[in-house]
Amino acid sequence: MHFRNQSAALSRGGEEWFTIHSHPKHEHIAAANLATTLGIEVWNPRIVFTRATRRGPATVTESVFPGYVFARFDLNLDLDQVRYTHGVATVVHFGDRYPTVPPAAIAQLKTHFNDGQVMALNHDISAGEKVLITSGSLCGLEAVVLRSLPARKRVQVLLEMLGTCTSVELDLSAVSVQRRYPRSLAA
């Protein structure tokens, strides 16, 4: 297998951005192997957020584009090496055509991540959102946020129990927002 170092990659011409399809849940593995083994520039944007689990809130890191990463390489010289890198399923193509990603599109995406690859999402809870209570005696119940009390790290929620609505104040760590997608990506 042919390896090259990072300085050689930066000095060569003909490199363009391509979309790499990784094996399921292996975006980070494909990106790491492409960067370290082949020495090519890779961008794998990821988000960090809190998700409700059966054991309570858990911090997770997920790819912004599940199953895909972006890599900059010379198609004529590196295609076979990229395709057979551990974690890579294929380079996105249509027949014998391998579409490129404009450098301006990658640059614009990178600006949203402050030129990094991981972005922590804002976890502000606002009135009207549904939350799941993840700890305490009310664990497992769903509620609607009445108001957020960030200075005290608490939230006031409305619970429906036994046919009546009750207002309860809880610690922020005891609730998890029930969003299908993180707020910043849903927009």
Residue 168 Cα to chain centre, angstroms: 33
pLDDT, tens digit, 9 for 90 and up, residues 3-44: 344 334 444 568 999 999 999 999 999 999 999 999 999 999
Q: Which domains does the chain have, with CATH numbers?
A: 6-120 (3.30.70.940), 130-186 (2.30.30.30)
Judged against a pLDDT cut of 70, whether residue 125 lies above it is answered with yes
Judged against a pLDDT cut of 50, whether residue 145 lies above it is answered with yes
* Angstrom distance (rounded) from CA 53 to CA 51: 6
Closest CA to 172 of 132, 142, 120: 132
Whether this prediction's pTM lies above 0.75 is answered by: no
Q: What is the mean pLDDT of residues 146-155?
A: 80
